[in-house]
Amino acid sequence: MLDMIEIPLSLAHFRLPDAVQARLQHLLDRQDMGEPLPPEEREEAEGLAELAEFLSLLNLRAARAEFEK
């Protein structure tokens, strides 16, 4: 059985800070240009991408909940 977790709508509007988003974009751009990232930076990029994806999911769920009201 799945438990539902209530997420405050104010929490769902969080996003990566501009500097963190810029860092992620920088790492992804380097990777896209064929530059292999060292393991530490690859892990950093993966973690930031996962966080960005999680925040996007929260925003989508909040928008859906707002729409269903």
Task: State pLDDT tens for residues 2-51.
Answer: 566 665 656 556 788 999 999 999 999 999 999 999 999 999 999 999 99
Choose the weakest-confidence range: 26-30, 39-43, 52-56, 61-65. Answer: 61-65
Q: Rounded distance, CA 16 to CA 52, Å?
A: 7
pLDDT of residue 8: 61
Rounded to whole angstroms, the Cα distance separating 39 from 16 reads: 22
Closest CA to 14 of 66, 48, 60, 58: 58
pLDDT of residue 64: 78
For 42, phi then psi, to 5°, come to -65, -45
Distance separating alpha carbons of residues 34 and 36, to the nearest angstrom: 6
